[in-house]
Amino acid sequence: MSNKGKISNSGKEGKITIRAIILSMILVIPNSFISVQTPTATAMSLVYPVIFNLLVLLTINIFLKRFLPKQAFTQAEMLTVYVVLSLTTIVSGLDMVQVLIPLLGHPFYYATPENEWQSLFWRYIPRWLTVDNLKVLEGYYKGETTFHTINHIKAWAKPIIWWSAFFFMLMMVMLFSNVIIRRKWTEEEKLSYPIIQLPLRMTEGGGSAKFYKNKMLWIGFGIAAGIDLINGFHYFFPAIPLIPTRSIELGRYFTEKPWSSMGWTPICFFPFIIGIATFMPLNLSFSCWFFYLLWKAQIIKADALGLGKIPEFPYVYYKSQASGAYIAVGFFALWTLRRHLVNVFKIAFGVSGNNSDEKLDDSREPMRYRTAIIGILICMIGILAFCIRAGMSLWIFPIFFGIYFTISLSIARIRAELGPPVNELFRIGPDMIMVQTIGTRPIGPQNLSVFSLFWSFNRSNRCNPMPHQIEGLKLAEQSKMDSKRLVKVMIAATAIAMPVAMWCYLYARYHYGDFTWNAGYEAFNRLQNWIYYQPGAENTARVLIGVGFGAVMLLSFLHTRFVWWSLHPVAYPLSSSLNWSMSWMWSSIFVSWLIKSLILKHGGIKTYRKTVPLFMGLIIGDYLVGGIWNVLGVLLKIQTYTFWH
């Protein structure tokens, strides 16, 4: 049998050691503690607290390699730390625990006679998933107390247990699915996985001296670190001049109709985004900024035609077009997987009877296909039981989670192929899509209340676990790690991620209070409007969901049929995030695209490869010095400079 594509390695370099596992699990606690207090830390695809930890570990390894070479960490050990911290940090992130916890007490603490929440939906909120004790919640919202009292722990224990079980099953469905699709994307399609290129290169050979002696690396590091160092001191001493990275707001210069409708359009230059975008294929980085400007052009054109008076038209900000586009990306990904999935089921259940066929051999996979399929079924039954007990109707379940996992697949595909610095899908989820397409009355207040609790993993999807899992499996393949053991470690990390993150968040909130974050207001104010006004299906939204779906399918056809076609379909929905991420990123991606284009045009691929360390240095410098400012802010309990947005 050929060893092509083999991702297990019994040698020392590929071994995942006990000490690496223990170190990873220990670091989960401080990493989660820092992450819950620096919300934007987890909003990026390449999670900066994880890179920060990796840099610290690499520094320690320099001394170990010099003085205790036998004790030095291997690449497999350091990547184990990277994978574990990536999976656990996103759980403590901006769109997971930091949305979940504020939801659990909000409908009770903020209920008033004026908003009528008690009469509207209290009876639909499951008490075993929430906290309705106002004395317990008072400490949470006002702070200056401790979570570690019997009453507080007792009130929160049941929700912590149940939500931890739910998210564990949800993430296991994704992990088992990634095990199934890994070979198709990694070995057959050979997707580039841009996000993992930095940790892979950083840890090569346990931290290669050749890489860290590269002059281009230190030039990039000096630029980014210098900017963050100067701006960080400017925050405390305004007399020190500021180096502007968020320099121009373009929209304010256009005051006349229809140009004024373009709205907020910042021009920013973030070193780490310029660095990350360099690893994106050239046509993809071009498509990102091009489609961003195209979305803006739609808004301006709609206003010029007088259609701007229609509420939310052309449905960019409330994501109808983007919803259809993301579903299309997931649908297209499933379509390209169809033959592979047939082969998976054949080998899993012995239909083929030809295990010698390498295409159907799963002995080298991180997990047997049959085990993965059975795992998906068991977890889906568990999720179904959870949802029915919470009050979700049986007919709602397959639609809701069918849309959710399709969107998750599209995010994983976009990350594997495009590697955007941020993947934000604000208000793009099964809850919004179902309400827009079928209206609130068929869904009913009980299901709508469950939708509001599920806002915790449908708000923006910046912390969706699926791409981090598939990237972990790709790292194993690239570095010849023991992938079977890595999957077991990933399962263990997933099991502890949610309870640790919830404890860290509650500890911080009982100390500082929670009176600024509006996730609870978003979810339950929306629920109030749904139940009170009972909006019906939106025909315009239906049409534009179809337009978004059709646009991506057309772009996918052109992309796969014509070599010269440069617009990539996955960039169409990704660039629709005009309220936040893409508005912050588009100009940095443009700069990265322009620099890379010029290098390839005038210097060729050899020159580009020589400059890659420069762009890695931009990321490392931004993450290290920017990360130090954030850590100091948490430890000293003060506001500090934030290098990102």
Q: Which residue has the higher pLDDT, 631 or 154?
A: 154
Region 614-631 average pLDDT: 91
pLDDT score recorded for residue 310? 63
Per the omega criterion (within 30 degrees of 0), is the bond before 107 cis?
Answer: no
DSSP labels, 57-126: HHHHHHHHHHH-GGGPPPHHHHHHHHHHHHHHHHHTSTTTHHHHHHHHHHHHHT--TTTTHHHHHGGGS-
CA dihedral 517, 252, 321, 532 (to 10 degrees): 50
Q: What is the pLDDT of residue 566?
A: 87
Please tell me the distance from the alpha carbon of residue 286 to that of residue 278, in angstroms, as a whole number.
Answer: 11
Nearest of 162, 97, 174 to residue 389 by alpha carbon: 162
pLDDT of 385 > 90? The answer is yes
Q: Report phi then psi at 268, rounded to 5.
A: -125, 155
**pLDDT value at position 316?**
62
8 Å CB contact between 121 and 531: yes
pLDDT over 90 (residue 469): yes
Task: Render pLDDT for 278-315 as a digit per residue (tens, 0 to 9).
Answer: 998 898 899 999 999 988 888 888 778 776 666 666 66
- Asked if residue 643 belongs to a domain, the reply is no
Instruction: Report the alpha-carbon distance of residue 319 to residue 169 in Å, rounded.
Output: 28
- Weakest-pLDDT range from 9-18, 258-267, 451-460: 9-18
**Least confident among 32-46, 56-70, 226-240:** 32-46
Query: Residue 1: is its pLDDT beyond 50?
Result: no
Percent of the chain at pLDDT exceeding 90: 60
Backbone angles phi, psi at 255, to 5 degrees: -105, -10
Domain boundaries, position 425: 18-636
The 10s digit of each residue's pLDDT in 173-185 is 999 999 999 999 9
Least confident of 263-272, 380-389, 465-474: 263-272
pLDDT of residue 2: 42
Domain assignment present for residue 250? The answer is yes
Q: Residue 403: what pLDDT?
A: 95
**Does residue 595 belong to any structural domain of this protein?**
yes
pLDDT at 184: 93
| Integer Cα distance of 321 and 311 in angstroms | 15
Summarize the confidence of residues 122-131 as an average pLDDT. 96
Q: Which residue has the higher pLDDT, 163 or 314?
A: 163
Average pLDDT over residues 448-454: 96
**Reported pTM:** 0.91
Three-class SS state of 249 = strand
Q: Compute the C-alpha angle 418/27/482, nearest 5°.
A: 60
CA-to-CA distance for 567 and 569, rounded, in angstroms? Answer: 7
pLDDT for residue 3: 45
The whole-number pLDDT of residue 137 equals: 94
**Is residue 9 in some structural domain?**
no
Mean pLDDT of 56-77: 90
- Average pLDDT over the chain, rounded to whole? 89
Q: pLDDT tens-digit profile of 395-440? A: 999 999 999 999 999 999 999 988 888 888 888 889 999 999 999 9
With a pLDDT cut of 70, the percent of the chain lying above it is 94
Structure tokens that stand for 418 in this block: 């495009």
287 to 194, 253, 536, 610: CA distances (angstroms)? 16, 25, 35, 25
Model pLDDT, residue 126: 96
The band of 645, judged by pLDDT with boundaries at 50, 70 and 90, is low
- Is 10's pLDDT higher than 50? no
Q: Which residue has the tokens 């109808």?
A: 320
Inter-residue contact 263 to 251 (CB < 8 Å): yes
Give me the mean pLDDT over the 189-204 stretch.
Answer: 91
CA distance 532 to 259: 36
Within a domain: 171: yes
- Measure CA of the first residue to CA of the last residue in the chain; give whole Å: 51
Q: Residue 356: is its pLDDT beyond 60?
A: no
Place of tokens 């390699």: 65
Mean pLDDT in residue range 219-234: 94
In the predicted model, is pLDDT for residue 358 greater than 60?
A: no
Query: In sequence order, which ranges of 337-479 are alpha helices (DSSP H)?
Result: 338-348, 369-390, 396-417, 430-438, 440-453, 465-479
Total domains present in the chain:
1
Averaged pLDDT, 578-592: 87
Residue 641 in domain: no
Residue 273 placed within a domain? yes
Distance CA(559)–CA(540), nearest Å, equals 28
pLDDT tens-digit readout, 102-119: 999 999 999 999 999 999
pLDDT in tens, 540-568: 888 888 988 999 999 988 988 888 888 98
The pLDDT score that the predictor gives to residue 391 is 95
* Strand (E) or helix (H) holding 495: helix 483-512
Which stretch of 90-99, 365-374, 444-453, 588-597 has the lowest confidence by average pLDDT?
A: 90-99
343-352, 409-418, 434-443, 620-629, range with the lowest pLDDT: 343-352
Q: Does residue 618 lie in a domain region?
A: yes
d(CA 419, CA 107) in angstroms, rounded, equals 37
* 307's tokens: 């259609």
